[in-house]
Amino acid sequence: MKEQTEKHKKLRLTTIAFFLFGFFLAAIGRLYFLQVVEHERYTDYSKKQYYQKVQIGQTRGKILDRNKMPMAITVPVKSVFAHPYKVENLLETAAIIASELKLGRKAVLNKISGDKNFVWLKRKITDEEYVSLKAKRLEGIFFLSEDKRFYPHETLASRAIGFTGIDNQGLAGLEYRYDKLLLGEKATYIAKKDALGRIYGYTDGQGPNNSFEMITTIDSRIQYAVEKALRASFEKYQAKSAVVIVMDTKTGEILALAEEPEFNPNKFSDYGVERYKAISVTESFEPGSTFKVFLAAAALDSGAASPDEIFNCENGKLSMGEYSIREADNNSYGELTFKEIISKSSNIGSIKIGWKIGEERFYDYITRFGFGSKTGVDLPGEAPGLFQSVKNWSETSLPSMSFGQEVMVTPIQLVTALSVIGNSGMSVHPHFMKEITQNGKTIRKYKAPPSRRIISEKAARQTVEMMRLSVTDGTSRRAFTPGYDLAGKTGTAQKYDVEAKQYSKDKHLASFIALFPASDPKISILVMMDEPTGKGWGGHVAAPIGKEVAISTARTLGMPSSNDTRYVVDWNELERKYLEKRKLKVQKRAGLLEDIENFIASKATAYEGD
Amino acid sequence: MPKQREIDYKIVFCVGSLIIVGLGMIYSSSGTVAGYRYDDPAHFLKRQSIWAIIGSIGMIAAMKFDYRRLQPLAPWLYITSIILLLAVLIPEFSKEVGGARRWLVVGSFTFQPSELAKLAMIIFFSAFLVKKEKSGRLKDFFTGYLPSILALGACFVLILKQPDLGTSLIIAAVVFSLFFISGMRPSFMLGTFLLLLPFLYVAILNVEYRRKRIMAFLDPWSDPFDSGFQIIQSYIALGNGHFFGLGLGEGRQKNFYLPDAHTDFIFSIIGEELGFVGCVVIVFLFTWLIYLGLKVSFRAPDSFGMYLAAGITLSIGIQAAINIGVATGLLPTKGLPLPFISLGGSALVMWMISIGILLNVSEHTT
């Protein structure tokens, strides 16, 4: 009986066990179905929820000078953000962050107590801020690495280089103009994401690095020297603004572009918008007497006048109906040759030359020199300059334009037109972009549009000669440097006072343009100072800067002055002297060895003898 | 006279393997969550390892403790469980997680009384049935069945109150199995079940989330982003696994796709990372363990030992079956951890103590 019940119990237990085992068997069947039979279906489904295409920008490419010195680089910096729901002690956290990052405590508190999932507290903080805030170990406060644009030379060439905004987007200068190239293509990654949509990895590691580097035409050595010279004068004359452009006469490559007041792109937000733009391309001025160079070129090319032709300069006063024209600085000239008119910068003489050229022809020439239209330089916001078309000219238009009034030009136009004269009359295209490289390989080089003839080689040559005369024996004398063969032309434009509707007596635009060496110009220089205090003559203010710029450029580029002593090294002689010296030494040493040997030998014999 | 036998190393092997697989899978499946919540991917692994050590001590202690001495302790174990289950309902003593009060808090230490109750009920009813059998009142309704069902009912209702339908159903299922084995009249049990059916129906369909779970069980794709989400994510995990799995740690479903990946749905992650083969191995280990446990039960020297071994074995088997059934969509979603494998300290310790008792019974086999 007892055994019978035991047996029944075991039977019932076995029954339950069989149900259990049966269920496990069913589970295995079900697993086979889900894992093996329907495998494809679920992998397809999972791909949809795991992966996401994301586009990630490259690290912004560097901007280098022509010698590959970095002008704009990208460095990683930290940004601070908060997950407000993770912040534990709101008041304390806000107080610490406000003091560490120099932010308003209330603003921080508002940010971290909101119901957002993510808030930026401060982007791109300094290393010091990062280290000290990180040490505080605040709950809910996190750091993220971001790229920050950095300009290691601060103000150097800053108006040309420009700057980028908080998201590394180009906002001004070359940074803006070549924004797309410097950004590179966005790489497409397949990101792995979790169910909360957060990316935690990428399927194929790093994408191709295809950001571009830009090599510019700027020579930072020249740029530095230019800025130094310009800044000193700018401060001395308390001017409104000042510009120097140094250009390779033959190629149009801009070697230096300096502007005052200075601008540090690392702190662009400290300045007003007015400081961002490059005056050289965005602002137009009445050039004044420097424009006479183009009058001369037009007269020579058209054959309207020859260099030694004599003009009557009316002893300092030319009356034209109700107007009368006087020479600058109360000068008065009688009879002057054409080249003297240019070198001494006679206004009356220039008007007479202008008349000889004629309205239509002069208009045609200045248009051909590129005035009134954009040069196409690769900086944003270029102004075309301005002058009336010939049918709207009044009786005084041609006379005024002959000495650089009634015409608005940009500094870049002026230096470009100057280079045409220096380049034997062939057109020149100003530019900053020299090469685009990617991973060290050149992928694009600047390609100039085909060069056109603007004026004859002879006319260009004769114009340069007149400018040379201006330096050696004219208004540009202050630029004269023994040994440096400079050709130049000064300009002192009275500024038109819009309110008074007449030319101002005390506001000037002092300028100086130069080519050198005059015998075969390689460098074009423009110096312009707007509203210098004091007398403000181009010859006084601008020419000395031009001289300094010319000397430092020449030295940097290894163009010695004819005054410098040249050392010719006779390598053979040098080698002979060196070898002789060496031989002597060797002989000496050999002698010493002999002495030592003798000494040892004597000792040895001494020992032997013992 | 029952003779002393060596401990059953096969049982130790099964349990050891399951715990080691469990630790590996907990690390793999909780790493992301733990890293996100605690900044330490190994957070849960460390905790579970400590529990495994405590569990081992418990197991050895139970193994050394003659199971027959449990018989007189049975009523006290029952009373203690009921007191703790009552205590857990008092907010001052307990912790609420996800709308359920299941944990007693003593200092920084939390404990799940329902896990203790599970083992306590097995011990209590084993002793109780032996007593009723000896007094010949087992088949009587008023003196045999009614007291039994009331004792079970008190425990069932208290756990249901937490609420923890899963654990209360497991306890009921195991205890009913013991009733059935003991030879109580099946008609009584069937009657009770039929009587409770309307209540069960109301309990399930009146509670929104349970009703949704049932609907999701019937057709998970009808609501793939809400009620069907978990089961679909479980299918995806399993489906991604194919034969050999993606490799340990390579699964992606744990990255917040599959909720409770390191607790109730750890089996799906095993399927994803170790594949069909891994799943079959786990199922095999459970089946073998059940087989070994039942052998212990069959060979037990007395009825108490037999009930004890059967109860412990069936509780492991039923809970594993339900967990695996849920993960594979054979059963509606019901949050129950997989014995020895899922994260959960109290459960692991209690399971290991149960195994200790089982091993002790095996030492006394005829």
The ipTM value here is 0.93
Maximum average pLDDT range among A2-6, A514-518, A538-542: A514-518
N-term to C-term CA, chain A:
126
Which chain A residue shows the shortest CA-CA distance from B297?
A10
Say yes or no for a CB contact (<8 Å) between A24 and B294: no
Query: How does the average pLDDT of chain A come out, rounded?
Result: 84
Q: Does the CB of B256 have a partner CB in chain A at under 8 Å?
A: yes
Q: Interface of chain A against chain B, CB under 8 Å?
A: 5, 8-10, 12-14, 16-17, 20-21, 23-24, 26-28, 30-32, 34-36, 38-39, 41-43, 45-46, 49-50, 192, 194-196, 200
Q: Is the predicted pLDDT of residue A422 greater than 80, yes or no?
A: yes
Q: How confident is the model at residue A374 (pLDDT cuts 50, 70, 90)?
A: very high
Say yes or no for a CB contact (<8 Å) between A36 and B329: no
Say yes or no for a CB contact (<8 Å) between A27 and B286: no
Q: Is the predicted pLDDT of residue A604 greater than 70, yes or no?
A: no
Substitution target in A13, A32, A138, A193 with the highest count of B β-carbons within 10 Å is A13
CA separation (Å) from A237 to A231, A483, A505, A575, B53?
A: 10, 28, 17, 54, 86
Q: Is the predicted pLDDT of residue A6 greater than 70, yes or no?
A: yes
Cα separation of A230 and A477, whole Å? Answer: 19
Q: How confident is the model at residue A602 (pLDDT cuts 50, 70, 90)?
A: low
Say yes or no for a CB contact (<8 Å) between A12 and B321: no
Which chain A residue shows the shortest CA-CA distance from B236?
A42
| Percent share of chain A, pLDDT over 70 | 89
Say yes or no for a CB contact (<8 Å) between B298 and A10: yes
Cα separation of A236 and A253, whole Å? Answer: 30
N-term to C-term CA, chain B:
8
Q: Is the predicted pLDDT of residue B41 greater than 80, yes or no?
A: yes
Q: DSSP for B263-301?
A: TTTHHHHHHHHHHHHHHHHHHHHHHHHHHHHHHHHHH-S
Q: Is the predicted pLDDT of residue B325 greater than 70, yes or no?
A: yes
Q: Does the CB of B252 have a partner CB in chain A at under 8 Å?
A: yes
Q: How confident is the model at residue B263 (pLDDT cuts 50, 70, 90)?
A: confident
Residues 13-42 (B) with a CB less than 8 A from some CB of A? 32
| Percent share of chain A, pLDDT over 90 | 33
Q: How confident is the model at residue B297 (pLDDT cuts 50, 70, 90)?
A: very high
* Cβ contact B52:B45 at 8 Å: no
Q: What 8-state DSSP symbol labels residue A486?
A: -
Q: Is the predicted pLDDT of residue B127 greater than 90, yes or no?
A: yes
State the average pLDDT over residues A494-508. Answer: 78
Torsion angle (degrees, nearest 10) of CA A475, A480, A485, A488 = -30
Q: What is the pLDDT of residue B257?
A: 78
Closest CA to B260 of B287, B285, B284, B237: B237
Substitution target in B177, B269, B285 with the highest count of A β-carbons within 10 Å is B177
Q: How confident is the model at residue A268 (pLDDT cuts 50, 70, 90)?
A: confident
Q: How many CB atoms lie under 10 A from the CB of residue B233?
A: 25
Q: What is the pLDDT of residue A330?
A: 77
Q: What 8-state DSSP symbol labels residue B330?
A: S
Q: What are phi and psi of A121, to 5 degrees?
A: -100, -50
Q: What is the pLDDT of residue A609?
A: 38
Q: How confident is the model at residue A607 (pLDDT cuts 50, 70, 90)?
A: very low
Digit-coded pLDDT (tens) for A342-364: 988 888 899 999 999 998 999 99
Digit-coded pLDDT (tens) for A542-600: 888 999 999 889 888 887 666 655 555 677 777 788 888 877 777 777 676 677 667 66
Least confident interval from A146-160, A252-266, B94-108:
B94-108
